[in-house]
Amino acid sequence: MKQGQILILVLLAVVVVLAIGLSVASRNITNLRTSTQTEQSQRAFTAAEGGVEDVLSDLPAYARADSGLGCNLAGDISTCDVDVGGLEAKVQVKSSPVYEEQTRPGFVAQVDLDGFSGNNVKVEWAKGNAEFSDEDGGSAAVEISLVYGASPYDIERWYFSGNLIRVGENAPLISNPSGTLSCTPDGFLHCVVVDISSFQPPQVLRIRPFFTRTTVKVAGVDEPLGLQKYDVSSTAKTEIGVTRKVQVSRSRLPQVPAVFDYAIYSENDIIK
């Protein structure tokens, strides 16, 4: 009656050991797969980031069709293949001659006019009702500054109210200051055309908002501005198919702080 009991116990022991072994092996495989994916993900992300950094190091050159940097220009889109640590990052650069950016009080929207030969620049701000704040008393007021000339530089300023007059705001500001014309906004609450023909050569146009944040859009009227904004996206893929993408938007000129206008430029000569 006792014959075969040892065999049953041995089989049970084998099953238990096999189950434990399979569980450990499964966990090890899962950990290995996770660590491999993490490592591959990091490689792909690093390569994509490296592609962006490589292009950002010389954006204007990469945006040119004749740059010789391996980019193919299709309309306003350049595509480049950048080798980063043995992985290929496919970088796409979308460039635009229209500046559009949301700007907060204390900051400045800055547009590059170097080389612009047109006479008029269209400035729009306060993008729709989303940027009309009852709490702040309406949409933003703006100061438009034009830096022009060639060492020494000069500066010309215009001021425009928002929708409502706030405490501390001079009212009413001239709706059409000398050298400007009103225009019909497209998707914005305010629009003005600035005639820069008397301020040559133009260098930089700066728009500073007051009271609340606002989206600023700047474009040439009689001819396009030079390239103002770059949207850079970089995609890298590892050998096992892990893909990562990095996207960056960059304006052509760094946004110099608003205090720059008053720290560098004055109404009179600076005497030491």
Distances from the Cα of 165 to the Cα of 135, 155, 168, 172, 233, angstroms: 13, 26, 9, 8, 42
Could you tell me the two tokens for 189?
């609450």
Query: How many residues would you count in the chain?
Result: 272
165 domain-assigned: yes
- Given pLDDT bands bounded at 50, 70 and 90, which one contains residue 169? low
Average of per-residue pLDDT across 39-46: 88
Distances from the Cα of 60 to the Cα of 52, 79, 154, 255, angstroms: 14, 14, 26, 17
2 domain-assigned: no
User: CA angle at residue 192 from 179 to 77, to 5 degrees?
Assistant: 115
Q: Check pLDDT > 80 for residue 83.
A: yes
- Given pLDDT bands bounded at 50, 70 and 90, which one contains residue 172? very low
> What range defines the domain where residue 138 resides?
98-226
26 domain-assigned: no
Predicted local distance difference test score (pLDDT) of residue 51: 87
Average pLDDT, the chain: 79
Q: Cβ-count burial of 35 within 10 angstroms (0-12 exposed, 13-18 middle, 19+ buried)? A: exposed
219 domain-assigned: yes
Q: 81 in helix, strand or coil?
A: strand
Domain count, the chain: 1
pLDDT tens by residue, 60-81: 666 555 555 556 544 567 788 8
- Report the CATH number at residue 143: 2.60.120
Determine if the pTM surpasses 0.85. no
Order of strands, sheet of 243-251, starting from the edge strand that comes earlier in the sequence: 71-74, 77-84, 87-96, 229-237, 243-251
80 domain-assigned: no
269 domain-assigned: no
